[in-house]
Structure 1
């Protein structure tokens, strides 16, 4: 790309509202338009001659240089805005980098606003949603009436023009919430709670503002309203994490991978169980995917639009577990938060609670959990008011609960309350036919994460995977493959034995024979690649050079994934 042409295209992309940078084969910037400099926080600066990595440390230019292929759809956030970054290598060793501002998803924000409105409709609450630019996407009628306007008139206006007391602009600039800010407006004292809204990748989409009139809260019964608002705030955090599902319905079972009869039967039973309300106990060794199965059951159930609240019984100290499960009131103990705090069961009301590692639940807590299972009621720590909840319980363990019961470590009555339905996930060593589909899915996920193009396993590695006992199950398989990704050389597309962790490389049995077999395979692969290079890619000529029939060459090309 000649200098004048580069400058012309720089100005063209400026006009198209796109930042444009062109780098040479060494990664030095030959041209950068003014918009690109502004996006990178270097407005008015001449970037020519500087390395792209110097002004844009987050760049993925190295991947483009490695693979010599376009890389599109990467993300970059700066100045409170989100940008799509695309890379296009040319035929001269250079790369064109384009920055395009991504507009906020108005439908996404509207869905969030409707969710808040539905959750908080019964409370004296004023609600507004703004996009990333600070423009009002939606405002509820209660807020509009406080301002003496109609809601539809206020939509589309800058937040400062409508809510002069709001700090939403600060929330958009910093990405941090402003909670408990007190203002006076129209003769009322308002408590503001204003929070950023981000997508699953952490990109800022906009913000939500809530204003509560203190006088109205007091008249309605402050303590009860406060308790219910705490619960709803907790649920909102869950919904913000789950809002991605509003973009389209997903198959609840797509994460449960496997074609073995055991997994097919497990999914069939789980789908049937999901339609009911019975408590479920999921058993299986560590790393088999018990939490994934619990998520699938919840998402396939009638409770799918309510929270799935997760708690690991082994990860929380015994002295804190009761407060974590059931919440606490203000003053219940030293350090208790002002106003108290709802527990996991309150947050799960209407939905599902997932109790992982239930076998590690302290004996002292088991009668309290049993009461919730029987009565669906409890009191917060330090509280007297009985709280009723409607929850479904899914528990999981890698231990034999009946053996724990025999040892006096688990209550038999609690076991039977939990295990109304018992689903067992078999270990990976008992279903080796699932290794191929699991490996393919994990490699695809790692390719997306690392920006690579790994195609699969060498034959010797495939055989090793089938023979290995996988004590860590699917989690260990994921770990092994990610380890291999970190030891692949640039451009390598097949995982071989030397890429694996040392403990797998030293697996006994047929190891020596496999090493010989792999060495023969590697030598044959290298010979084919040399012949193809010498023949200029002509497969007929390459077959002659190798002294084999063309049909035999085609079989070997397929076997070794050589294109």
Structure 2
């Protein structure tokens, strides 16, 4: 790490320098050492690999060592009286004897490091584990327009604006090539923790503050690219992701639960699914939920409304096209929906409205597992799971010749019939409460809920438009009701309220007696008054039947 932090070394003198830690691992070295020993800065190297006869464990004091034609001056690096490594100064006795003698007298590691720091053109600062500045070079203090002695001993956050040196001292996570704003300009900062035996020794920071004008231009370009990328990524993920899960499929009626359970099972397969049901039954919600519960959940969920895309553009939308393949085509071409859905799911809504010629092309995709862009001369393999939906009677269309029978059987592997809302009245109240909460949250308007009369009106209405119609009615009511109020009949459309069931004030026992008398009378008529057959049909004894006939005066 020290190698990354002290990039400006003694490259201007003819003396080799190598810095190692207590374990003998080389942290950094200067150009002269690189030439001497053919060192490689891209991989971890130990000093014993370079100087085999040098045993750091035997070094008990600073001094000189002789190795081949070189002399090695060794200085122990200490921080707060804790040894953290060594600096090796290596020189050829014949070439630089004078320089060796001068550097040999410099026994203090601090002085050597300070000399290195002062040579750096860029800003270099060193702090301890508490964030206190222990070293800062002249170039940095001149840029900050402060005195070195004033800065040393102060907390780094009090000296350098927007610094993160003290944060790195806590997290021990290196930060490289980070933008830092100082004196109104952006700099490139590196912050490296120096760790010995699991303990933080120091944090060394370097700030590049030359060519600021060019750096600002580069930063602005990068920022614009990032903004465009985030915008594109957000739009792409929004338009190609599944929003709803099985938790959003609300209902307790038997046919709905059966459809939901079948959908859950289908999520664990890769087979094609055909969703059938009237408009407004929630076919798209089922498709979302199946994708999100499948192994393809991390892939794209691509939606295509086959009825909404013009027929002459449908092929290009589904399969893409090469650049310049037709008038108005993009020069770079365009990826089709099937390619976007690779390793994900494609939802083909209103499949019954797909033209016959496109049905043939779709069938080929299903059979060959590959697509060919418009204007291309080669195919591309794809891995896509298809969920199709329709509100039309495909069997009748097959007889009429408007839907291909072979395509029908390819799509109709797992069929899920979603019942309309009018066939599951027991779900209406639950759905209405769910939608009230959902819509009020969307509109940021607090609502207490639905009154009993309002719920009764909703439950007795024939919802030809399905769940979508119910949601629209709920949203209209929420817009009309007062804040924190209760949705009442007056907030509902008149055609819904007038269908409210009028319940007579009759006891439950009377209702049961009427129903029982009616059932016995109908059974007697059906059996030509043969009481033995009636008792058997109603699953009661003949004695009970005679008692009930007498009771009801039949």
For the pair 1:466 / 2:459, whether they are aligned, the reply is yes
TM-score for both structures, normalised by structure 1: 0.50
Per the TM alignment, residue 438 of structure 1 is displaced from its structure 2 partner at its CA by: 1.0
- Alpha-carbon distance change, 434 to 510 in structure 1, aligned in 2, over 3 angstroms: closer
Say whether 1:197 aligns with 2:234.
Answer: no
Q: 1:264 to 1:277 in 2, by over 3 A?
A: same
Larger Rg: 2
Name the counterpart of 1:376.
Answer: 369
Q: Which moved more, 1:326-335 or 1:431-440?
A: 431-440
Determine the C-alpha separation between the residues in 2 that align with 1:420 and 1:318.
26
Aligned to 1:350: 343
Return the alpha-carbon distance in structure 2 between the equivalents of residues 425 and 289 of structure 1.
8
Q: Is the 8 A contact 1:167 1:194 kept in 2?
A: no
Asked if 2 retains the 8 angstrom alpha-carbon contact of 1:443 and 1:456, the reply is yes
Q: Is the 8 A contact 1:154 1:162 kept in 2?
A: no
The equivalences for 1:139-158 within 5 A come to none
Alpha-carbon distance between aligned partners in 2 of 1:324 and 1:478, rounded to the nearest angstrom: 31
Deviations 1:392-447 (A, max 9, x none): 00000111111111111100100000111100110111111111221111111122
Aligned residue for 2:414? Answer: 421
Q: Name which of 285, 291, 301 aligns with 1:292.
A: 285
From the superposition, tell whether residues 382 and 168 of structure 1 become closer, same or farther in structure 2 (CA, over 3 Å).
Answer: same
Q: Give the gaps of 5 or more residues in structure 1.
A: 1-127, 138-152, 172-177, 179-192, 199-232, 515-563
Which residue of the partner structure matches residue 433 of structure 1? 426
* 1:445 to 2:438 alignment: yes
> Secondary structure of 1:339's partner?
coil
Distance in 2, matches of 1:412 and 1:130, equals 62
Q: Number of matched residues?
A: 308
For residues 242 and 330 of structure 1, what CA distance do their matches in structure 2 show? 23
Taking the aligned partners of 1:420 and 1:450, their CA distance within structure 2 comes to 40
Compute the displacement of 1:240 (Å): 5.9
Match of 1:266 among 259, 263, 270: 259
Residue 468 to residue 135, structure 1, CA distance change in 2 (3 Å): farther
Q: What is the DSSP-based 3-state SS (H/G/I as helix, E as strand, rest coil) of the residue aligned with 1:455?
A: strand
In 2: Cα distance, 1:154 partner to 1:291 partner: 55
| Runs (5+) with no aligned partner, structure 2 | 1-176, 189-204, 505-554
CA gap 1:500/1:240 in 2 versus in 1, 3 angstroms:
closer
- Tell whether 2:501 aligns with 1:503: no
> Using the alignment, how far apart are the partners of 2:178 and 2:294 within structure 1?
30
Over 3 Å counting, the alpha-carbon distance change for 1:136 and 1:369 in structure 2 is: farther
SS in 2 for 1:277: coil
1:445 to 1:509, Cα distance in 2 relative to 1, 3 A:
closer
Cα distance in structure 2, aligned partners of 1:323 and 1:382:
10
Describe the SS at the equivalent of 2:386: strand
**Partner Cα separation in structure 2 for residue 421 and residue 390 of structure 1:** 18
Q: Would the alpha carbon gap of residues 136 and 457 (structure 1) be closer, same or farther in structure 2, given more than 3 Å must change? A: farther
- Structure 1 position 168, deviation (Å): 4.7
Say if 2:301 is the partner of 1:303: no
1:165 and 2:218 matched: yes
Question: C-alpha displacement at 1:167, in angstroms?
Answer: 4.0
**Residues 277, 420 of structure 2: 8 Å contact kept:** yes
Q: Considering only aligned residues, what root-mean-square deviation do their CA atoms show, in Å?
A: 3.7
Note if 1:406 corresponds to 2:399. Answer: yes
Of residues 477, 485, 488 in structure 2, which corresponds to 1:484? 477
Specify the alignment match of 1:98 in structure 2: none
1:322-349 deviation per Cα after TM superposition (whole angstroms, max 9, x unaligned): 0000001111111100110010001001
- The 1-side partners of 2:297 and 2:187 are apart by 30
Deviation readout 1:34-76 (Å, 9 max, x if unpaired): xxxxxxxxxxxxxxxxxxxxxxxxxxxxxxxxxxxxxxxxxxx
Q: Kindly state the Cα deviation for residue 264 of structure 1 after the two structures are TM-superposed.
A: 2.0
TM-score, structure 2 length as denominator?
0.50
| Cα distance change on mapping 1:442 and 1:339 into 2, 3 Å | same
Taking structure 1 as reference, are residues 484 and 162 closer, same or farther at Cα in structure 2, changes over 3 Å only? same
Q: 1:468 to 1:321 in 2, by over 3 A?
A: same
With over 3 angstroms needed to count, the CA separation of the structure-2 counterparts of 1:267 and 1:307, relative to structure 1, is same
Deviations 1:500-519 (A, max 9, x none): 124324x44747x79xxxxx
Q: Please say if 1:319 is aligned against 2:352.
A: no
Aligned-pair CA distance for 1:160: 8.8
**Alpha-carbon offset, residue 282 of structure 1:** 0.3
* Matched-pair contact (CA < 8 Å) for 1:288–1:425: yes
- The question of 1:389 aligning with 2:387 is answered no
Contact 1:168 1:194 in 2 (8 A): no
Deviation digits for residues 473-517 of structure 1, max 9, x if unmatched?
1100100011111221345x2211221124324x44747x79xxx
Q: Pick closer, same or farther for the CA change 1:406–1:160 going to 2, 3 Å.
A: farther
